Amino acid sequence: MAADLHLETIRGIMADFAAGTGLDPAGLQPQRYLWTDAFAVANFLELYRLTGAEVYLELARRLVDQVHQVLGRHRPDDSRLGWLSGLPEEEGKRHPTAGGLRIGKPLPERAPGDPPDPQLEWERDGQYYHYLVKWLLALLLIGRVTGEPRYLDWGRELARTMHARFLCTAYTGGPTIICWKMSIDLSRPQVNSMGQHDALDGLLTFLALQMEGTGMPDLSGEIKGLTALCRARQWSTDDPLGLGSLLHDALQAGQLIARGVAGLDDLLSALLAQARPGLAAYARRSDLHLPADYRLAFRELGLSLGLRAATRLQDLIVREKEHFQAGARLRELLELILEYLPLGEAVEHFWLDPAHRVTPGWQEHLRINQVMLATSLSPDTFLGG
């Protein structure tokens, strides 16, 4: 298996990540970043699955707690103190996601009244909807592995907060959307537009959370709202990270269908049908021929991870064929998509070369590059395997 072949590489990557971000040994000022940490939780759980070593399960638990302690609170350079939710200290510890979670960006958020700066906004703190969805998935995964209900409770609590606070209008009298970036306290939009796949990512992850454990608090209202936001939308993209996300969403939809969730058949067909043209466009103009310093590893690795998700979806449809009404059509679409599997293999092969991981381009995005390479090499836990 590829995971066994790369086990020592993944161990090394995650050991360096833990040491370099203040997780193990614990640092006085841990460097937490929500997207990266969500993938890291999945990777530690995957190492636990592969090796049975309790140290990796403990690292996953510790990382979740550290994320909540750091990103669930106001920044050290902020005049505001305590939990983002405003809850008293002890109650906040019991409900660390009630006020959402900061991104972990280096610069303070844009203050009320300050003019927007589209470039600078990428370095400013706040809350990102699609990062929060990735954290929901991390909580879902660790809840499944440990059987501890607190993780699922925190996930559902975060889901309710997100849905209530990220809904806004793009312009006066305009339609309701999910603003993709909000202020740290969720009081105002920082970017008044919706990410292409935000409603889709949210819908599928909320559905998965709803099916786990006690199902309380109930997310039916939020799911209904997200379903409406997904209706008649176009998901096509030729961005490699977006394509990877789209293929992961397709796998999530297939997994939900196989578990008996109704009403997702048309959505799954649409996701696969719209992914293929984007893959063709990316293959025609991809940067995979360029040197390492001209490439963004984490975006490419998002695509390789998505293509791995497509192989698992193909297996799922064959194995659980009684659940898929349009199984033949889905298999045809997947065969077309999996023609691009060599793209993902080429990406992994390139970034496995140590010489490509000492360049300034790799080092500039070191932590996100590390965790996404590890996830792509051994993705079973992240993909729900």
Cα(271)–Cα(221) distance, integer angstroms = 24
| Mean pLDDT over each residue of the chain, to the nearest integer | 94
Cα(142)–Cα(67) distance, integer angstroms = 14
DSSP letter, residue 120? G
* pLDDT beneath 70: ranges in the chain: 1-3, 214-215, 385
Q: Which stretches does DSSP call E strand in 11-141?
A: 127-128
Q: Tokens for 313, please give them.
A: 């979806």
Cα(334)–Cα(2) distance, integer angstroms = 21
Per-residue pLDDT tens over the stretch 110-131: 999 898 898 899 999 999 999 9
> What's the pTM value of the predicted model, to 2 decimals?
0.96
Nearest to residue 243, comparing CAs of 295, 205, 299? 299
Per-residue model confidence (pLDDT) at position 107: 96
Cα(36)–Cα(289) distance, integer angstroms = 26
Per-residue model confidence (pLDDT) at position 1: 45
Per-residue model confidence (pLDDT) at position 287: 85
Indicate the SS3 state at residue 206: helix
